Amino acid sequence: MKNLILISATLILLAGSCEMQPRADFNIPSPVVDVYENVYFTNTSSYADSYRWDFGDGILSSEPNPTHYYELPGRYLVTLEAFKGSQELDRTSMYIDVTSTSLEIEVLEFYDKYPIPEASIVLYTTQYDWDNQTYPVYESEWLTDANGIAMIHGLRPIIYYVDIWHPTHNNYWLAEDDMDFVKTEPLEKDVINAYTFYVDYVASVSRKDGRKVEQYRVVRVERKAPASNAK
């Protein structure tokens, strides 16, 4: 009888010890989100006293229930580690698919087709805002790279009016020729919408500080075939 009691007590102790080990678990409202959309992580772990999140994009967090957003489209593996003390831990992972309605703008010189690097691009959602420089998208500008390309994520599937500067010259007077030169078609949702804007070399002019700068103006825009979102 004593041996039976001892065995029963041991089993109870072992069962209690297993139950007290940390268990990592979490959930989110949806595994598919847009670029810049806040993702709210609900931590449902048990028997843990600290946590470590890896959102798959190089960002870490130790908050129990963090909020995070992604700046680029793609598939991300989110991992949660739940700790009890400094030795015991458990982990779990989940994929999140980040989509984006994106705009890729290539800026080329019209005649010789060479790329225009460091061209400043500002987007507007209406012709009135384009004319008056009011309410730019994100209140930001994007610069073309060495290949004359700028990638803009997190847009809506609407028409955008594109303002190109290089480096201090704006192209507002080009609207007198044709507004189609400076706008897109309605963007297709959740894909990369690729456009080429051709610009015309105008002249070099002197700024107030005496430096000479080259000026370009948009003379034509072409749309490329849509590309899928790939990280």
Beta bridge partners of 221: 197
Q: Which position has the higher pLDDT, 163 or 87?
A: 163
Query: What pLDDT is recorded for position 218?
Result: 65
Mean pLDDT for all residues in the chain: 82
Using DSSP, state whether 180 is helix, strand or coil: helix
Instruction: Please report, rounded to a whole number, the percentage of residues in the chain having pLDDT higher than 70.
Output: 76
Q: How far is CA 104 from the centre of its chain?
A: 13
Most confident of 67-81, 104-118, 127-141, 168-182: 67-81
> Percent of the chain at pLDDT above 90?
57
Can you give the pLDDT at residue 175?
A: 54
Span 81-110, average pLDDT: 92
Q: What is the CA radius of gyration of the chain?
A: 27
Domains of the chain: 21-99 (2.60.40.10), 102-223 (2.60.40.1120)
